[in-house]
Structure 1
Amino acid sequence: MENLPESPFSESTLGSSSSSPSQKNPKDLGALTPNQLVLLIHDVSLREEVMHHLYEKKDSCKNLALLLWNNFNTVYMLLLEVTSVYRKFSPSMLSMKEATRVCCALALFQVLANNPETRRGLIKAKIPCYFYPFLVPFGDDEPLEHVRITTLGVLGDLTKFDDPYGSHALHFFLESEVVPLCLKCMDVCDEMSRKVATLIVMNILTQERGLTYCCATPERFFAIVQVLRRVVEKLSPKPCLLHLEYVIQCYVCLSKIFRSIGLMCIIVNFCMSLQHDHEASWMLQVLHLNIYGCLYFPPIEERKKIAKKAASSSKGKGKGKK
């Protein structure tokens, strides 16, 4: 690949202006165009500001992904930012300022991940492997968690398998074993990380090949089911519905392979009260059908309570109008 040097672990001197004093004032960078900014990313003293301004222009510059990808050494410079903090993981010595800088580089990788052409290039070059160390939990550390959430966001965009290169991307993620890393995040990380990690696992499970891979051995299957069970147990009484939908969809996929799984009753029993959320309710009916071979009908007592609640609610609205 022409825009990456042989090794990502040492500063390149090719096209770099870091050896000479910068001619630009960081305060003036905001006025530059993306084409001008991307040429300054080689300057170490300006790189943080340049990355920040480039990301700010992602909406106004539609070809930013291609600009980053095709400019010589730019992806390499972004990788340097990512790999430079590896040594600060264990024990955690990462400051919030350093975490913010890494997140800025990762955010530009997310721009690349959102473009079908550059997404293909990232996968082909196996660049996501450089992000995997951020997924390993190293204790309850806010800067690392900040980086982890951003990393999961990048991977979430990379696990969009609906383009012509989707099968290759899926093969890469299965081969590089991203699922166990995401399961670990789902199990022990903060709520936001758990949600995005669940999304990635869901994206993989919704692909037939991904589902087959995850259910190929009892160990893989039960590892996923057990983590999902623990995720459900950690959900608050009023959980994030989007996260809940991700979990339910994972169960729906798994129920296509193994129907008689007692652990799935946990999610059914926990979520059947969410009748007001139509999408979640529909997925639960599919799950119930897959497991038990029939649709779910609440007991008569529960239906009476729902009807009574609906009637009192409508009366209250009627009084309000009067």
Structure 2
Amino acid sequence: MASQSSQTNAAVERERVYQWILELNNPETRENALPELSKKREVVPDLAPMLWNSFGTIAALLQEIINIYPAINPASLTAHQSNRVCNALALLQCVASHPETRSQFLLAHIPLFLYPFLHTVSKTRPFEYLRLTSLGVIGALVKTDEQEVITFLLTTEIIPLCLRIMESGSELSKTVATFILQKILLDDSGLSYICQTYDRFSHVAMILGKMVISLAKEPSARLLKHVVRCYLRLSDNPRAREALRQCLPDQLRENSFSTCLQEDKSTNHWLQQLLTNLENQTVSDGRQVGMSPLTSQ
């Protein structure tokens, strides 16, 4: 009897989800449907295919995003506007995360609609929330470790956008942006892309260096973890490794983060591995890079 009751409740709940999806198509009912569907992301496993394959739904979500563009410049975004569009972004993150819809999501170039939000610099809470939620969509993509995601992102301006946020965003935004950069670097094509020219490498190294100096003053273990992992991955490239021997911040060599590292063994291990990589100037390195740092191309 209890089983039958739970099945009935599940059927009723599913009908409500279908109804909210239908309500997204109507501008008058959309505002209520957005938060209701957003709450269901964790409990309805196939919500992403339902959203993607239902008529007009993705167009409605993109309309919510485009409608906010005029509030970006001049900066006039309200908390109500930010909450509403972030509910739409949360549903897009659901689509970006799902294996059945991710490829189509990329083929439709939907992440590009979010980039205007990542360009914003206002430090007010509505804008910060908007940037963080937009980064969450990109973070959901890179978390899958799929080649097609990195291939797509490397054709866009995501790296400079992340670097800007890493330099001037809130701690949480910096953490997500650095995580995205880390995931791009961990892919061979991403590492090759960043280390291909002096300008790309030096921009990344400069921002990471600024972050280390800032973290020495205001420590954040979770942010430090991603920064160290980025440095370690850069050290896998022979030319970048040679350059890092000259430009690695002293704070990483001088135990400035000993308190943080005592509680985080993985970050401590990565840092020790990084320092070992930079100390080991092997003959094979010399053959590969002519014992010279990364040069301008």
2:220 matched residue in structure 1: 240
1:279 matched residue in structure 2: 266
* Pairing 1:264–2:248 present: yes
TM-score normalized by structure 2? 0.84
* CA offset digits 1:267-309 (Å, max 9, x no partner): 3333355234211111011101111129xxxxxxxxxxxxxxx
How far the C-alpha of 1:248 sits from its partner, in A, is 0.3
Instruction: Note closer, same or farther for the CA distance 1:74–1:268 as it changes in structure 2 (3 Å cut).
Output: farther
Instruction: Specify which of 176, 179, 184 is matched with residue 199 of structure 1.
Output: 179
- Given that 2:122 and 2:128 are in contact with CA atoms closer than 8 Å, whether structure 1 keeps it comes out as no
Structure 2 distance, partners of 1:33, 1:193, is 34
How far the C-alpha of 1:77 sits from its partner, in A, is 0.3
* CA offset digits 1:44-76 (Å, max 9, x no partner): 111111011111112221110110010011001
- Given that 1:65 and 1:118 are in contact with CA atoms closer than 8 Å, whether structure 2 keeps it comes out as yes
Instruction: Specify which of 152, 155, 159 is matched with residue 135 of structure 2.
Output: 152
1:177 matched residue in structure 2: 157
1:77 matched residue in structure 2: 60
- Per mean C-alpha deviation after superposition, the further-off stretch among 205-214 and 266-275 is 266-275
2:275 matched residue in structure 1: 288
Structure 2 distance, partners of 1:223, 1:138, is 19
Instruction: Note closer, same or farther for the CA distance 1:225–1:89 as it changes in structure 2 (3 Å cut).
Output: same
Instruction: Specify which of 17, 24, 27 is matched with residue 44 of structure 1.
Output: 27
Q: Residue 253 of structure 2 aligns to which amino acid in structure 1? A: V
| Stretches (4+) displaced over 4 A | none
* Pairing 1:136–2:119 present: yes
- Given that 1:186 and 1:194 are in contact with CA atoms closer than 8 Å, whether structure 2 keeps it comes out as yes
How far the C-alpha of 1:140 sits from its partner, in A, is 2.2
Alignment of 1:3-82 (within 5 A): 33-82=16-65
* CA offset digits 1:224-253 (Å, max 9, x no partner): 000011112222656232211100000001
1:253 matched residue in structure 2: 233
Which has the bigger relative contact order, CA under 8 A and spacing at least 6? 2
Structure 2 distance, partners of 1:251, 1:201, is 11
Counting matched residue pairs gives 263
State, as a whole percentage, how many aligned pairs show the same letter: 35
1:89 matched residue in structure 2: 72
1:259 alignment partner, SS class:
helix
Structure 2 distance, partners of 1:288, 1:282, is 10
Decide which structure has greater helix share. Answer: 2
Q: Residue 284 of structure 1 aligns to which amino acid in structure 2? A: L
Instruction: Note closer, same or farther for the CA distance 1:47–1:268 as it changes in structure 2 (3 Å cut).
Output: farther
TM-score normalized by structure 1? 0.77
How far the C-alpha of 1:177 sits from its partner, in A, is 2.2
How far the C-alpha of 1:42 sits from its partner, in A, is 0.7
